[in-house]
């Protein structure tokens, strides 16, 4: 029943940000590629990698079998697809749009329905793993798509993902699982921040606390990953490298609490975490590493109560 | 400088609950042991293991070099030590009290100061790991104690702990690290509950969600341990076996939010988790497994929105 996928589909990548750029670089080595970003300087970064620089989403999508969207949020998705010179103006019926952004289940469903009016298929495929893994084809991708759309998108997805989880047949299914992933990730980072802030307040050395607890019943991936960077925040004069921006969790915890409200499920911890990320944004940390949220709870200028030597 | 510990100190265990009973059973195989519990039926459980049944804490402590307290909370600690027929009436100067309960740093310090007035040493040694590991000598114990007290308690602690972390020299230091452990553990269980409740609300099969996410960036020890038991709550007619009572987290999140307030450190997620455990207690779940807190967010009678088969 499935269409036979082109082995090397002509692909367009729209959005060359922290995730889009390394994904496009990797695809350019294997597939005919057009790229578009609203910032010409970002497009130029692809020229040496072999991507064709397009002047608009419509131009990038003109000859594409597959369009991969790697923009920030739903308003950018709408602009790239349905705005002036949007990709929907040129995409052929039977082509496929891969939606890699985290936008929430309803937005993914609405996008897919609008594309379907033109005979265009949608693969809901939010990604996790960060820029380095994006460039290595080592992303985790959770997919909501019917088989036909998934088959067409496979050559692209297989170049990007080390783990591809098919959640269900409908656009939105991938977003639902990604939202639950972000609920846990966002709460675990905020919990790590509370633990380290409280350790300082009690006069315990935060680094010792992280090492003592990370492998036991208190452990989480995020406590082991972000915890040491939170400790570094206090112990170094230089802010930790930005691996994942704080304002991503402002957006994603907004999606989580929104869909939970719509489903009438209370999520008091996710809501508290959302407020913490908003406080971080207000404190000027939007573009800082998300581990910087710890400074909302325990400002860097506050010394540990009883010194750091215990 | 340290006293030479007796290789087989006469030991008294006061409190034979979920943790005290297996600890006492293990000690009885290696040390001369007296035991006391407020419930005679609990004391009788030790008779076959070789412990001497005492009629009061004072009687249990009369010949003891080391008294191990395994009671529920600070009010029981005060009663066992300083109440009528309390252990402090008979304990000799130079003997040692091991405080295994989670009571908070201030309570441990106050207890140690009061015992020191009679020349009795204190080892602050809250334990983690649950009843099975208690019986196997496989507990995690975090210690605040001066060297002299620790040396005297070592033969007992070494029989109970597979991991002994010396946090600092003062009673209360162990409690501080244990409180941070409980902050993370209690928040992570509550986060797992939110994730699984939201999965149900979105029509995703909770079991699939747990398996998809537990080993990635959303993972935590508690999501991997309590998550499957939360799933079992919905998929089985029988409630999961009680491995750790829900009301332990009512107590411990109370300690966490109390010491955070005293240290002027905001802990909004721990506070939200505390409220969830209180809601669970109000719903009649105090003596149920702590994983049952998920039913506060998503009652068992509520079917998943779109069925369980996706």
Predicted pLDDT of residue B68: 98
Sign of CA dihedral B299, B301, B303, B308: positive
Is the ipTM of this structure higher than 0.95?
A: no
In this predicted structure, what is the pLDDT of residue B5? Answer: 56
Q: What's the confidence (pLDDT) of residue A1?
A: 43
Dist CA B163 CA B198 (whole Å): 36
Please tell me the predicted confidence (pLDDT) of residue B180: 98
Looking at chain B, which residue has its C-alpha nearest residue A310?
B168
Measured at the alpha carbon of residue A94, what is the angle toward residues A91 and A97, in degrees to the nearest 5?
A: 60
Q: Rounding to the nearest 10 degrees, give the CA dihedral for residues A194, A196, A198, A199.
A: 160
- What are the angstrom distances between the C-alpha of A204 and each of A208, A210, B105, B175, B183? 8, 11, 12, 11, 15
A117 CA: distance to closest CA in chain B (Å): 25
Phi, psi of B241 (to 5 degrees): -50, 140
The DSSP string of B62-79 is TT-SEEEE--SSHHHHHH
Q: Which of A197, A218, A274, A298 to mutate to test the interface with B (most CBs of B within 10 A)?
A: A218
Cα–Cα nearest to A151, from A68, A35, A66: A66
Nearest to A177 by CA among A130, A138, A139, A126: A126
* pLDDT tens digits, A263-304: 999 999 999 999 999 999 999 999 999 999 999 999 998 555
> Which residues does chain A have within 8 Å of residue B297's beta carbon, measured at their own beta carbons?
265-267
Closest Cα to residue B265, out of A198, A122, A60? Answer: A198
Q: Which chain A positions have a beta carbon within 8 Å of B212's beta carbon?
A: 142, 165, 167, 177
Q: How far is CA A34 from the centre of its chain?
A: 22
| CA B95 to the chain's CA centroid | 24
Q: Which residues of B touch A217 (CB under 8 A)?
A: 128-129, 140, 181, 185, 221-222, 225
Taking alpha carbons only, the member of B255, B212, B243 closest to residue B133 is B243
Q: Mutate which of B202, B215, B280 to test chain A, going by most A C-beta atoms within 10 A?
A: B202
Cross-chain residue pair A223–B220, CB shorter than 8 Å: yes
CA gap A62, A181 in Å, rounded: 35
Ranges of chain A with pLDDT below 70: 1-6, 302-310
Q: What are phi and psi of B56, to 5 degrees?
A: -160, 165
Task: Determine which helix (DSSP H) or strand (DSSP E) holds A198, and give its type and residue range.
Answer: helix A173-201
Neighbours of A34 (CB within 10 A): 25
The whole-angstrom separation of Cα A12 and Cα A95 is 11
**Which residue on chain A is closest to B128 by alpha carbon?**
A217
**What DSSP character marks residue B285?**
I
Q: At what angle do helices B40-47 and B20-28 cross, to 10 degrees?
A: 30
What counts of helices (H) and strands (E) characterise chain B?
Answer: 13, 9
Write out the two tokens for B237: 């007619």
Q: Show Cβ contacts of residue A47 under 8 Å, excluding neighbours closer than 6 positions.
A: A53
Q: Cβ–Cβ contacts within 10 Å for residue A73, how many? A: 16
CA distance B284 to B193: 17
Work out the angle at residue A87's Cα, subtended by the Cα atoms of residues A84 and A92, and round it to the nearest 5 degrees: 130
Q: Going by DSSP bridges, is the β-strand pair B127-128/B139-144 parallel, antiparallel, or unpaired?
A: antiparallel
Q: Which helix (H) or strand (E) holds A282?
A: none
Q: Which residues of A touch B184 (CB under 8 A)?
A: 191-192, 195, 213, 218-220, 223
Alpha carbons A21 and B296: distance in angstroms, whole number:
43
Token pair for residue B219?
């993972």
For residues A230 and A158, give the distance between their C-alpha atoms in angstroms, rounded to a whole number.
Answer: 34
Structure confidence at residue B47 (pLDDT): 78
**With the CA atoms of A186, A191, A197 and A200 taken in that order, what torsion angle do they form, in degrees rounded to the nearest 10?**
-140
For B126, counting Cβ atoms within 10 Å of its Cβ (0-12 exposed, 13-18 middle, 19+ buried), the class is buried
Helix axes B206-213, B173-201, angle to 10 degrees: 130
- Backbone φ/ψ region at B50: left (φ over 0), alpha (ψ -120 to 50), beta: left
* Interatomic CA distance for residues B228 and B225, integer angstroms: 6
Q: How many residues does chain A have?
A: 310
User: B184–A213: do the CB atoms touch at under 8 Å?
Assistant: yes
Residues in chain B with CB shorter than 8 Å from the CB of A183 are 191, 194-195, 198, 218
**Residue whose pair of structure tokens reads 């009690």 in the numeric block:** A202
A31 neighbors A6 (Cβ within 8 angstroms):
no
Measure A177 CA to nearest chain B CA, in Å. 7
Q: Which of A180, A204, A218 sits opposite B198 (nearest CB)?
A: A180
Active site residue B178: yes
Domains in chain B, start-ordered, CATH in brackets?
11-170 (3.40.50.720), 176-297 (1.10.1040.10)
Q: What are phi and psi of B93, to 5 degrees?
A: -55, 140
SS3 category, B196: helix
Distances (CA, A) of B77 to B98, B99, B105, B108: 11, 8, 14, 10
| Per-residue tens of pLDDT for chain B, all 310 residues | 445 555 899 999 999 999 999 999 999 999 999 999 999 999 888 877 788 999 999 999 999 999 999 999 999 999 999 999 999 999 999 999 999 999 999 999 999 999 999 999 999 999 999 899 999 999 999 999 999 999 999 999 999 999 999 999 999 999 999 999 999 999 999 999 999 999 999 999 999 999 999 999 999 999 999 999 999 999 998 888 998 999 999 999 999 999 999 999 999 999 999 999 999 999 999 999 999 999 999 999 855 544 443 3
- Helix, strand or coil for residue A163? strand
- Chain B environment of A209 (Cβ under 8 Å): 177, 180
Rounded to an integer, what distance in angstroms lies between the CA atom of residue B184 and that of residue B181?
5
Exposure on the CB side of residue B165, measured as CA atoms within 13 A: 23
Q: Report the chain B residue with the minimal C-alpha distance to residue A128.
A: B217
Residue in A151, A132, A160 with CA at minimum distance from that of residue A68 = A160
CA A122, CA A134: separation in Å to the nearest integer?
21
Q: How far is A208 from chain B (nearest CA, A)?
A: 9
Find the residue in B nearest to A164 (Cα). Answer: B212
**Count of pairs with CB atoms under 8 A, one residue in A, one in B:** 222
Provide the shortest C-alpha distance from residue B201 to chain A (in Å). 5
Residue A264: is it exposed, middle or buried by C-beta count within 10 angstroms (0-12/13-18/19+)?
exposed
Burial A185-199 (b: 16+ CB within 10 A, else e): bbbbbbbbbbbbbbb
Minimal Cβ distance to B212: which of A177, A188, A203: A177
Task: Write the residue in B197, B198, B218 that is nearest to A185 by C-beta.
Answer: B218
What is the per-residue pLDDT for A49? Answer: 79
Residues of A marked active site are found at 178
Nearest CA in chain A to B199: A180
What residues of chain A lie within 8 A of the CB of B275, using their CB?
Answer: 268
CA dihedral B273, B277, B282, B286 (to 10 degrees): 180
Phi (first) and psi of residue A6, to 5 degrees: -65, 135
């Amino acid at each position: 029943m499935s269409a036979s996928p082109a082995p090397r589909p002509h692909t367009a990548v729209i959005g060359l940000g922290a995730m889009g750029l390394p994904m496009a670089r990797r695809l350019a080595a294997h597939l005919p590629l057009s790229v578009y970003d609203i910032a010409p300087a970002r497009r130029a970064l692809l020229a040496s990698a072999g991507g064709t620089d397009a002047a608009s989403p419509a131009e990038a999508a003109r000859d594409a079998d597959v369009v991969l969207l790697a923009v920030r949020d739903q308003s950018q998705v709408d602009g790239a697809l349905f705005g002036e010179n949007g990709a929907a103006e040129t995409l052929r019926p039977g082509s496929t749009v891969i939606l890699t952004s985290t936008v929430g289940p309803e937005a993914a469903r609405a996008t897919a329905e609008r594309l379907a009016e033109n005979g265009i298929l949608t693969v809901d495929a939010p990604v996790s793993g960060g820029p380095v893994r994006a460039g290595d084809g080592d992303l985790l991708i959770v997919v909501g798509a019917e088989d036909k759309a998934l088959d067409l998108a496979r050559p692209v997805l297989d170049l990007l993902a080390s783990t591809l989880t098919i959640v269900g047949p409908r656009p939105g299914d991938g977003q639902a699982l990604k939202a639950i992933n972000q609920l846990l990730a966002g709460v675990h980072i905020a919990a790590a921040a509370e633990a380290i802030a409280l350790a300082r307040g009690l006069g315990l050395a935060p680094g010792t606390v992280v090492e003592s607890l990370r492998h036991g019943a208190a452990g989480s991936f995020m406590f082991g990953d972000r915890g040491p960077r939170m400790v570094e925040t206090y112990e170094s004069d230089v802010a930790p490298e930005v691996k994942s921006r704080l304002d991503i969790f402002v957006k994603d915890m907004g999606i989580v609490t929104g869909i939970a409200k719509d489903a009438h499920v209370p999520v008091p911890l996710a809501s508290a975490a959302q407020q913490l990320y908003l406080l971080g944004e207000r404190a000027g940390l939007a573009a800082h590493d998300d581990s910087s949220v710890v400074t909302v709870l325990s400002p860097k200028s506050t010394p540990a109560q009883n010194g750091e030597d215990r």
